[in-house]
Amino acid sequence: MTDVAKRLSTILDEEINVIFEDEELKGEVQLERKDTAYNKLKIFQFLMVAFLIVNLIFLYFLIQDLRFYNNILQRNIYTLNIINRGTSEIYVNKTVVPPNQNIQIQLAFGENLEIHGNQGETVIETPLVKYTVKLEDFEVSLSYGND
């Protein structure tokens, strides 16, 4: 085949290239490999962009939460949950709490909370600690470093 191509090229004064079927298949295989590599690259880039977007969304919510908690810490206000587990109502700063009910109160440092009429058990839940009190009349105060 190459001999015929050489003779034709001398007769016609043109360069004649012979392409065998195996070489054509090799070229197609190389094109397919390039296409699959390109597709894999595009899929990888898409996944990276998707993960980046998801991480940015999580970062946004994290920053919002940090701002919220920073605001709470700057105000120095604690939310107390007072639960009346007694048989009669109690008075929390002139607010009535029926038996087996609870009330949430925000208390800043240095402020006092007076509880009167406790006949059973009163539970005071702070963000960090849970206190159980069995005194009839008592006062709650938040101070720096002390319970």
Residues 104 and 35 grouped into a single domain: no
Instruction: For residues 31 and 22, give the distance between their C-alpha atoms in angstroms, rounded to a whole number.
Output: 14
C-beta atoms surrounding 140 within 10 Å: 21
Q: In terms of domains, do 61 and 113 share one?
A: no
pTM: 0.49
Average pLDDT over residues 2-24: 70
- CA–CA gap between residue 101 and residue 113 (Å, rounded): 18
14-38 in b/e burial notation, b at 16+ Cβ within 10 A?
Answer: eeeeeeeeeeeeeeeeeeeeeeeee
Domain of 36, in residue numbers: 1-75
Taking only the tens place, the pLDDT of each residue in 45-79 is 999 999 999 999 999 999 999 998 888 777 777 78
> Are residue 63 and residue 131 in the same domain, yes or no?
no
| One domain, residues 17 and 2 | yes
Q: How many domains does the chain have?
A: 2
Strand bridging mode 122-125 / 77-84: antiparallel
pLDDT tens-digit series, residues 121-139: 999 988 778 889 988 888 8
